[in-house]
Chains A and B, each alone.
Chain A
Amino acid sequence: MDILAHLLPAGIAAHAPVLLVVIPLILAPIAALMPSGRIAWAISLLAAFLVAILALVLLGEVSQAGSVSYHLGGWAPPLGIEYRVDALNVPILLLVGFVGLLCTIYALPSVADEIEPGKQPMFYSAFLVCFTGLLGVTITGDAFNVFVFLEVSSLSTYALVAMGGGKDRRALTASYNYLILGTIGATFFVIGVGFLYMATGTLNMVDIARVLAEDGHSRVTEAAFAFIVVGLGLKAAMFPLHVWLPNAYAFAPNFVTAFLASTATKVAFYVLIRFLFSIFHPEVTFVAASFTWIFAVLGTVGMIVASAQAIFQTDPRRVLAYSSVAQVGYMMLGLGMGTKAGLSAGMLHLMNHAMMKGALFMALGAFALKFGVRSIASLNGLGRTMPVSASAFTISGLSLVGVPLTVGFTSKWYLILAALDRDWWWAVAALIASSLLALVYVGRMLMAIWMEEPPSHQGKAIAASTAPWAVVVPMSILALANVYFFFNADPLVHLANAAAEAVMGGR
């Protein structure tokens, strides 16, 4: 860990928190002005690479110092805006940075295939703005700043999703519905922040927590809590508020789906954890009640219902999209236990899910480069036609089910342990039931890939081929990470435990 902190010269490392946000922000308009998509792609790659490095540096600094605080413009908090990195958000920064880097590599063939050349520079620019927004949401220590960055990332996401409209016009309506619900969510969040500001007179998260701990809660803060939970729930696609997600994921360009599925909802979920645990105290009566009666219950219902819905979908991307909603249910359940073990298991599942879904959507994108993937039947026999991509799909699909030897098993194991710790037998039963449902919907796709006849052209089977290296490399890294982190689970478990420790203290 010491090495990480000294990866960059001290003069630059001291500004790492702000550079993390500013580098993609500066490169976004430059990418927009580039004449060709390839140059814009190179610029995006540079941004994602630098961000990943800076995230590593911050990990090193946090593991030494506990937390890093950066005062924008030299104004000290609570008056000024503070960027704050601690053990809770450093895993999210790493996740966004590295998944962003892998997705950017993957973007080169995928975007060239799906987006018309004249629009590619703008497309990469919108991606960089979205990237900036997600990093900003994660790193900022100011409640209103969260709203601004959330909208920066959301607005560019709407545009990115709508870019799928060239292929399938339903991307446009999907993006429109996402815009309406996303904006309502953001506005609810900002109402909640307004109520908190009314009650505490400050916007700095640490300061709000301090004032709330000193002055206690009132009706105003309870209302703020309700608005914030609903608003962030919409952004994170928590179970009954997820209706925008399946269509947005199904019709967006493949690259956008892979990136969003593994970052956007995760970041919103992180903000939820931040508000629930470090601003509102989990031992306050109404917060504790919401954990048991809202998060745990809705999480459980969500993981069963959304998994069941996934079974009845015909488009593989919609299957995976509904499965994402179910996975958010697992995280809600972990969070709803209100214990350190539960939160840590939820965080672990959050990171693992990003790896699985990233690889799955990348593999679907690889299939789509060669064949149109519109229904599960179009996956028929691809195990023989595109063996590498099909293997990556299989490994991460099994991880999604939670088969041993994959990370999916690790995080479900920790969730079950945490549930047993609280004597929540019904939660264990629901976890197993949901995993069995996952076995059904993943199994259907795997059966089609490996058991059916390969696609043929004029009576002859199409020769086996591999996707371009820019697809295979990031996809394989993510798929193998699913196995690697089962055998070497300590780094991720350590990160998740440290995160839970940071917000819940010794409890």
Chain B
Amino acid sequence: MSPHLILRVVSKLLIPIIVVFGFYVQFHGDFGPGGGFQAGVIVAVGVILYALIFGMEEARRAVPPAAVRYLMAAGVLLFAGVGVATLLMNGAGEPVNFLDYDALHPDQSHHTGQHYGILLIELGVLFTVSSVMLAIFYAFAGRIPDLPDEDW
């Protein structure tokens, strides 16, 4: 049952680190290079590596395709929702435009609203990018190959 013992052990060690690194890229994204796109791909790579080593069945159990589908939609909704929230908050003072993050927090001098805004936006991007990457992977890898693995 365990022909690739080294691969299995090493990837078990690596996958948490990959995902943590993904989150570092995500949350450090508003101070340095990084952001939702890159982080989303890195997080998805963690799951894809798991699927490559332990098989599609195990990966589907860990991250079900239905959850991927919901997360994909949730990311887009979070992104657009921040924009709509800024529209709805214009009662506080001046009318503000779509995605004007300053409306999200009253503290204007430190641009706290900008921080909250970009954090939420990038979170939406993370959800969507990582789940889209997984959805693409599941869609391609889930197909039954014409050639069985032994015939290669």
Selected contact of B97 from candidates A11, A25, A33, A74, CB within 8 Å = A74
CB <8 Å contact, A22 and B98: yes
A30 within 8 A of B: yes
Q: A381-409 vs B: 1/0 string, CB under 8 Å? A: 00000000000000000000000000000
Quick check: is A321 within 8 A (CB to CB) of the other chain? no
- A422 interface residue per 8 A CB criterion: no
B119 is an interface residue with CB less than 8 A from chain A: no
The residues of B with any CB-CB pair to A shorter than 8 Å are 69-70, 72-74, 76-77, 80-81, 83-84, 87, 90, 95-102
Contacts of A72 in B (CB 8 A): 97-99
- A14 B98 Cβ-Cβ under 8 A: no
Number of A interface residues in the complex (CB < 8 A)? 17
Which listed residue, A11, A22, A32, A73, touches B80 by the CB 8 Å rule?
Answer: A22
Whether A29 lies near B77 (C-beta < 8 A) is yes
Q: Is there a chain B Cβ closer than 8 Å to A462's Cβ?
A: no
Say which residue of A18, A28, A29, A33 sits within 8 Å of B98 (CB atoms). A18
Give me 18 A-to-B residue pairs in the complex whose CB atoms sit less than 8 angstroms apart, sorted by A's number.
Answer: A15-B87, A15-B98, A18-B83, A18-B97, A18-B98, A22-B98, A28-B76, A29-B77, A30-B73, A32-B72, A32-B73, A33-B69, A33-B70, A70-B97, A72-B98, A73-B97, A73-B99, A74-B96
Whether, in the assembled complex, A463 has its beta carbon less than 8 Å from a beta carbon of chain B, the answer is no
Query: Does A170 sit within 8 A of B, measured CB to CB?
Result: no
Q: Which residues of A contact B95 (CB under 8 A)?
A: 11, 14
CB <8 Å contact, A22 and B84 = yes
Q: What separation, in Å, do the CA atoms of A420 and B97 have in the docked complex?
A: 48
Chain B interface mostly: helix
Q: Are B73 and A73 in contact (CB under 8 A)?
A: no
- Tell whether, in the assembled complex, residue B69 and residue A32 are in contact, meaning their CB atoms are under 8 Å apart: yes
Q: Taking CB as reference atom, which chain A residue is nearest B114?
A: A73
Kindly provide the distance from the CB of A138 to the nearest chain B CB, expressed in whole angstroms.
Answer: 17
What residue in chain B is nearest A21 (Cβ atoms)?
A: B98
Q: Are A71 and B77 in contact (CB under 8 A)?
A: no
- With a cutoff of 8 Å between Cβ atoms, the chain B residues found around residue A26 in the complex are 76-77, 80-81, 84
Q: Cβ of A71: which chain B residues have Cβ within 8 Å of it? A: 97
Interfacial residues of chain A within 6-28, with CB under 8 A of chain B in the complex: 11, 14-15, 18, 22, 25-26, 28
B72 with A74: CB separation less than 8 A:
no
| Complex interface residues of chain A between 71 and 88 (CB less than 8 A to chain B) | 71-74
Q: Determine which of B80, B100, B101 lies in contact with A25 in the assembled complex, contact meaning CB atoms within 8 Å.
A: B80
For B117, the closest partner residue in chain A by CB is A73
Which residues on the B side are within 8 Å of A18 (C-beta)?
83, 97-98
For the complex, give the distance between the alpha carbons of A15 and B95 in Å: 10
Contacts of A30 in B (CB 8 A): 73, 77
How far is the CB of A36 from the nearest CB of chain B, in Å?
16
Contact assessment for B83 and A22 in the assembled complex, using a CB-CB cutoff below 8 Å: yes
Q: With contacts A15-B87, A32-B69 known, is A73 near B76, CB below 8 A? A: no
* Residue numbers in A under 8 Å from B84 (CB-CB): 22, 26
Q: Most chain-B Cβ atoms within 10 A of its Cβ — which of A14, A15, A18, A74?
A: A74
A15-B98, A28-B76, A73-B100 known; 13 other A-B pairs, CB under 8 Å? A18-B83, A18-B98, A22-B80, A29-B74, A30-B73, A30-B77, A33-B69, A33-B70, A70-B98, A71-B97, A72-B97, A72-B99, A73-B97
With a cutoff of 8 Å between Cβ atoms, the chain A residues found around residue B98 in the complex are 15, 18, 22, 70, 72-73
Distance A72 CA – B96 CA, assembled complex (angstroms): 10
B76 and A25: CB pair below 8 A? yes
Q: Which residues of B contact A22 (CB under 8 A)?
A: 80, 83-84, 98
Question: In A25-47, which residues have CB < 8 Å from any B CB?
Answer: 25-26, 28-30, 32-33
Q: Closest CB-CB distance, A175 to chain B, in whole Å?
A: 16
Give A170-206 interface residues, CB cut-off 8 Å to B. Answer: none
Most B CB contacts (10 A, CB to CB) among A28, A29, A30, A33 go to A29
Q: In the complex, which residues 402-444 of chain A have their Cβ closer than 8 Å to any Cβ of chain B?
A: none
- Nearest A residue to B90 via CB reads A11
B82 to chain A, nearest CB (A): 11
Select the residue from B80, B90, B97 with max chain A CB neighbours within 10 A: B97
Kindly identify which residue among A14, A29, A74 contacts B73, using a CB–CB cutoff of 8 Å: A29
**CB-nearest residue of chain B to A17:** B98
Shortest 6 CB-CB contacts between residues of A and residues of B:
A29-B73, A74-B100, A18-B98, A73-B99, A29-B76, A26-B80
Write the nearest CB–CB distance from A311 to chain B, whole angstroms.
42
In the complex, how many angstroms separate the beta carbon of A58 from the nearest chain B beta carbon?
Answer: 15
Kindly state the separation between the CA atoms of A26 and B98 in the bound complex, as whole angstroms: 14
Least CB distance, A297 to chain B, in whole angstroms: 44
Q: How far is the CA of A25 from the CA of B84 in the complex (A)?
A: 12
Chain B residues positioned under 8 Å from A33 (CB to CB): 69-70, 73
List A contacts of B76 (CB < 8 A): 25-26, 28-29
